[in-house]
Amino acid sequence: MIAAMNSPGQSVWVGDVLVGWASAATADTAAVPLGPIDTTRTAGLSGEQKARFLQGRTLLHRLLGELQPGVVPQLDATTCPHCSGPHGPVSVEGPAVVVGLAHADGLVVAAVATTSRVTALGLDAERDAVGAAERLADLVKLIGGSPATALRRWTQIEAVLKADGRGLRVPPEQVRIEAETAQIESDPDRYRLAEISGPAGYLISLAWR
Ligand SMILES: CC(C)(COP(=O)(O)OP(=O)(O)OC[C@H]1O[C@@H](n2cnc3c(N)ncnc32)[C@H](O)[C@@H]1OP(=O)(O)O)[C@@H](O)C(=O)NCCC(=O)NCCS
């Protein structure tokens, strides 16, 4: 696996992908241009949920500013292709970029890249060792491997399924991981995988192609 180096600036380049993270509780939610779906979503949220949501959008906005200085893109959720609900992946109006977002127990993580270098990306984060034995045993039953590797493997699988865009509508056991790459069964696309050395206590995985 590529292990990205820790960065004091809370963001790190992994090849052509810029990955960053922030505390979900931080009140650093400067105004970010949001599209209609996100505006409606924000209006329906309060407290921690609202802070978490806005922190994700703020982090994406910061990373996009680092990727393409001077560009102020509008962010919006896409509608779910399955149920038309307002909870699909984030879309960015303007620059030709791909983006990804994940929330994990007090942390928000995001990744951005230009489409000239990266076609798709996804990332996932989990609190390390949360839930302990029972949850790990359930994960092993679902995706194989061992309790020691289950949580990392789960973040890799979710990262791949988010990069694919269908998320958990694809059965997770259909993701095949081989060293630093992964593939969904009967799908020709091959993803690269990286472990991100983010804040202590979290496992973060990135998948991209
Ligand atoms: C995508 C999915 C794996 C996210 O898992 P999770 O553990 O709940 O959430 P995470 O914190 O890891 O990631 C959430 C982010 O993923 C992104 N996301 C949502 N759906 C996505 C998808 N299909 N592909 C890629 N990214 C997606 C969003 O940006 C979301 O953050 P936001 O709501 O603040 O914008 C999961 O929600 C899923 O499989 N969704 C598809 C199926 C579905 O939505 N079913 C229910 C209604 S039909």
SS3 category, 159: helix
**What's the 87 CA to ligand 1 centre distance in angstroms?**
7
| Averaged pLDDT, 188-203 | 95
Q: Please report the pLDDT score of residue 82 as a whole number.
A: 84
pLDDT band, residue 131 (cuts 50/70/90): low
The closest-lying atom of ligand 1 relative to the alpha carbon of residue 52 is 34
**What's the 52 CA to ligand 1 centre distance in angstroms?**
14
Residue range(s) defining the domain that contains residue 51: 2-208
Probe target for ligand 1 pocket from 60, 99, 103, with the most ligand atoms within 8 Å of CB: 103
Q: Please report the pLDDT score of residue 5 as a whole number.
A: 43
Supply 154's token pair. Answer: 């789960």
**What's the 93 CA to ligand 1 centre distance in angstroms?**
19
Q: Please report the pLDDT score of residue 8 as a whole number.
A: 40
Q: What is the DSSP letter of 92?
A: E
Q: Please report the pLDDT score of residue 148 as a whole number.
A: 87
Q: Is 51 in the pocket of ligand 1 (CB under 6 A)?
A: no
Is the model more confident about 26 or about 53? 53
| Percent of the chain clearing pLDDT 90 (strictly above) | 69
**How many domains does the structure of the chain reveal?**
1
Q: Please report the pLDDT score of residue 1 as a whole number.
A: 47
Query: Whose alpha carbon is nearest atom 47 of ligand 1?
Result: 83
pLDDT band, residue 130 (cuts 50/70/90): low
Q: Please report the pLDDT score of residue 87 as a whole number.
A: 87
**What's the 122 CA to ligand 1 centre distance in angstroms?**
10
Query: Which helix (DSSP H) or strand (DSSP E) does residue 124 occupy?
Result: strand 121-127
Give 66-113 pLDDT, tens digit per residue. 999 988 889 999 998 888 888 899 999 989 999 999 999 889 999 999
Q: Is 130 in the pocket of ligand 1 (CB under 6 A)?
A: no
Q: What is the DSSP letter of 134?
A: H
Query: Which helix (DSSP H) or strand (DSSP E) does residue 64 occupy?
Result: helix 47-67
**What's the 14 CA to ligand 1 centre distance in angstroms?**
22
Give 135-181 pLDDT, tens digit per residue. 889 999 999 888 889 999 999 999 999 999 999 999 999 999 998 99
Rounded Cα gap, residues 105 and 132, in angstroms: 15
Q: Please report the pLDDT score of residue 29 as a whole number.
A: 58
Query: φ and ψ at 200, to 5 degrees?
Result: -60, 140
* Residue 196 scores a pLDDT above 70: yes
Q: Is 87 in the pocket of ligand 1 (CB under 6 A)?
A: yes
